[in-house]
Structure 1
Amino acid sequence: MHIAFLTPEYPHAKVKHAAGLGTSIGNLVSALVRQGVSVTVIVYGQEKSEIFTENGITFHLIGDKKYRFGKWYFYRKHIQKYCNRIIKEEKIDVLEAPDWTGITAFMNFRIPLVIRFHGSDTYFCHLEKRKQKLKNFWFEKLAVQKAQGYIAPTAFAGKLSAALFGIQPEKIKTIHHGLKLDQFENDSPNQFEKGLIVYIGTIIRKKGVLELPAIFHKVRVKCPNARLVLIGSDSSDIATGKTSTWELLQQKITPNDMPSVAYLGKIPYSEVKNYIQKAHLCVFPTFAETLGMVTIESMAMQKPVVNSNMGWAQELMVDGVSGYLVDPKNHEESAQKMIQILSSEKLASKMGVAARKQVQNKFDINVIVKENMDYYETIISN
């Protein structure tokens, strides 16, 4: 079996960008290679074109191109031509691509195309109740409807995507993203910085970060030594047009709370893991997600999590067992759940152990990879 992944991001030093989408692909790719599957990763929109092989993976970086007009069409056709050439040369069996931006709209391939619902603009606009550009919906719907197979990381994301794009829900296979559990070991789970609350993710409205100042203020009334650390890239804000969501967030933090809040920006992944390990608890008040890699990474490191209670999150953790699920807009309840964890090391430890067990049972990449392989086989044989 030879699988190719078409993606705008991947966790590699030569690749321009990497976030949750790239991390989930990277975990799967590494696991496929360990299972003896041939893998090609095709990354578009890069600063320059390059081909190289590393750790058994063949990489094709496709440089970005400028066009006088119609880039949305001509660059896609350029990618199609490139992919079809290497599909033939490398004898690739299946091509997988994300739903985001509908990159495969207008493309035709020699082999089956699988779309994985990482989270389309259509999906996020629906969850945020935000108006979507008609062009973006058109691209994504065309790309989805031309595929021969579909994978979603949660049943919630699959069902909603099916409804939005007009495809039959039974055509979508739910396969969770997987983790390399040996990379998320915590040998000293009872050693942490008391009161340290950690948020990891883009500083953007849809992730619920603008709810955190009010929640954190209520937490500090009962736990005055609590500290909040935010990690991730800053983003512009669609609702206000402001260039920095972090600046908006700062305006909501009270002067008394500000010394207890730190924004670290985007930092190396090894440092992110260090902060997870140091955390008393992790908080993810997101309004729009398909799964949430940092949630299961935190759980794998035995951290209690206070998470959004939206549909996808209910498939990740058990409320009151491995953490708490709360409506991010309910500041009082969110704060009370965090206070409960901060006030009881016994509770924090118990939830951390339960969180690790749940990740082992549901998100072990060594199990997840075989589900993916079985699905690819069905697509190839059809």
Structure 2
Amino acid sequence: MHIAYLTPEYPHERIGSSGGLGTSIKNLAEELIASKIEVSIIVYGKHMSDHFKENGINFYILKQKYYKVGGFYFYRKHINAYLSRLIKEKGIDLLEAPDWTGITAFMKFKVPLVIRFHGSDTYFCRIEGRPQKWKNRFFETNAIKRAQAFIAPTNFAGQKSADLFKMKVNDVKVIHYGLQLDKFENPHPDNYQEFNLLNIGTLIRKKGVFQLLQIFTKVLNQFPKASLTLIGGDAPDIATGSYSTWELMKASVSTEVLSRIDYVGKLPYSEVQERVKNAHLCVFPSLAETLGMVTIESMALKKVVVNTNIGWAQDIIEQGVDGFMHHPNDVNAFLASIKTLFENKDRMLKIGAAARRKVECDFNIHKIVATNINYYQQIKDNHG
């Protein structure tokens, strides 16, 4: 088979930075190549066009095009025409695309289209309880109607997406994201910076960053040596219209609390791993995810994650066994778990080891790739 992925992001120095969506595609693509499946990655919306092949993967970079009117529609038609030529010339058997803003709306292909629910704007707006732009809903709904199959990374994401787009839950196949575990090794989990909390992700309201500051403020009251490290890009704040969420965060805490926070911005992937290993605990009080790659990546490095308890996290963590889950607004519950782990190193290390075992069992890309291949083959056969 030849599988193509249409995506707005992919972690590569010639393409740009990436979040969990791009990372999940990279992990799967590299494992598909190892399984003798041909892979093409088409990245849209970039500042320049490019085409290259690396480690067996074909990369096609599409420059963002601008139009006087109707750009949301005409750029999609441009991508459609490009993909149709590529499908014919390269013998592509199946195309996968994300749900975000319905990039495949109004597109038609001669091969089956799979939509993977990485997290649509419809999904995030509903979970966060904020209004949605009509065009995003319109495009996402149209894209869903044109797809032949659907994948979600967690049961919660699949069920919620099916409900929002008026689909049958059974039409959504749940396949977890996977990790190449040989790239996640921490032989010395007992070597870390005491009382250091780590959060990884874009500074944006839906990631629970303001709840995180409330949690850290309470932690600092009980553990004066505590510190908080933030890794990720800054983003505008939808709720206030501010150009910078980080500026809002700084204004919401005291000078003393701010002095114990180290915001390092975006870091190379290898350096992020070292920061995870160095952390005492990882804290992710997110309000909206579909799975959360940083959670399973941290668990793979034997770190205890104090996580959100909203929906998707229940596919990942067993409370008190391989991590902790609380509602992001329950600041005292986060504090209690962090306090317990700070004060009991043996228990922390035991839970960290269990977290690694959980990832080995449920998120090992070597196992997950076979599920993807079988599902792709089923879709291809049904379409043929």
TM-score (norm 1): 0.99
1:151 is aligned to 151
Give the distance between the partners of 1:343 and 1:221, measured in 2 at CA.
15
* Amino acid corresponding to residue 24 of structure 1 in structure 2: S
1:74 is aligned to 74
Give the distance between the partners of 1:38 and 1:176, measured in 2 at CA.
21
Task: Quote how far apart the aligned CAs of 1:304 are.
Answer: 0.4
Task: Give CA deviations for 1:43-69 in whole Å, capped at 9, x if unaligned.
Answer: 111122121111011111111112121
2:274 is aligned to 274
Contact 1:219–1:336 (CA<8 Å) still a contact in 2?
no
Q: In the alignment, does 2:103 pair up with 1:123?
A: no
Give the distance between the partners of 2:47 and 2:252, measured in 1 at CA.
38
* Amino acid corresponding to residue 378 of structure 2 in structure 1: T
- 1:111-190 aligned at under 5 Å gives the runs 111-190=111-190
Give the distance between the partners of 1:65 and 1:258, measured in 2 at CA.
41
TM-score (norm 2): 0.98
Give the distance between the partners of 2:13 and 2:262, measured in 1 at CA.
27
How large is the Cα RMSD of the aligned pairs? 0.8
* Amino acid corresponding to residue 132 of structure 1 in structure 2: Q
Give the distance between the partners of 1:127 and 1:64, measured in 2 at CA.
30
Give the distance between the partners of 1:128 and 1:174, measured in 2 at CA.
23
Contact 1:151–1:173 (CA<8 Å) still a contact in 2?
yes
Task: Give CA deviations for 1:193-239 in whole Å, capped at 9, x if unaligned.
Answer: 11110000010100000012221121122222111111100111111
Give the distance between the partners of 1:328 and 1:189, measured in 2 at CA.
27
2:260 is aligned to 260
Of 234-243 and 257-266, deviating more is: 257-266
Contact 1:223–1:342 (CA<8 Å) still a contact in 2?
no
Give the distance between the partners of 2:255 and 2:103, measured in 1 at CA.
45
Task: Give CA deviations for 1:283-319 in whole Å, capped at 9, x if unaligned.
Answer: 0000000000000000000000100000000111111
Give the percent of matched residue pairs that are identical in Structure 1 and Structure 2. 52
Report SS of the residue matched to 2:255: coil
Give the distance between the partners of 1:54 and 1:25, measured in 2 at CA.
15
1:237 is aligned to 237
Give the distance between the partners of 2:99 and 2:168, measured in 1 at CA.
16
Task: Quote how far apart the aligned CAs of 1:252 are.
Answer: 2.0
* Amino acid corresponding to residue 287 of structure 2 in structure 1: F
Give the distance between the partners of 1:150 and 1:163, measured in 2 at CA.
13
Give the distance between the partners of 1:95 and 1:213, measured in 2 at CA.
41
Give the distance between the partners of 1:310 and 1:271, measured in 2 at CA.
29
Of 258-267 and 193-202, deviating more is: 258-267
2:41 is aligned to 41
Of 213-222 and 336-345, deviating more is: 213-222
Give the distance between the partners of 2:57 and 2:255, measured in 1 at CA.
51
Q: In the alignment, does 2:328 pair up with 1:328?
A: yes
Which consecutive residues of structure 1, in runs of 5 or more, have no partner in the other structure?
Answer: none
Contact 1:211–1:328 (CA<8 Å) still a contact in 2?
yes
Report SS of the residue matched to 2:52: strand
Runs of 4+ residues deviating >6 angstroms: none
Task: Quote how far apart the aligned CAs of 1:248 are.
Answer: 1.1
Task: Give CA deviations for 1:169-212 in whole Å, capped at 9, x if unaligned.
Answer: 10100000000101110011111111110000010100000012
Task: Give CA deviations for 1:15-59 in whole Å, capped at 9, x if unaligned.
Answer: 134111000000000000000000111111112212111101111
Of 322-331 and 96-105, deviating more is: 322-331
Give the distance between the partners of 2:46 and 2:252, measured in 1 at CA.
37
The alignment covers a number of residue pairs equal to: 382
1:308 is aligned to 308
Which consecutive residues of structure 2, in runs of 5 or more, have no partner in the other structure?
Answer: none
Give the distance between the partners of 1:46 and 1:230, measured in 2 at CA.
27
Give the distance between the partners of 1:256 and 1:245, measured in 2 at CA.
19
* Amino acid corresponding to residue 323 of structure 1 in structure 2: G
Give the distance between the partners of 1:135 and 1:8, measured in 2 at CA.
18
Give the distance between the partners of 2:20 and 2:212, measured in 1 at CA.
21
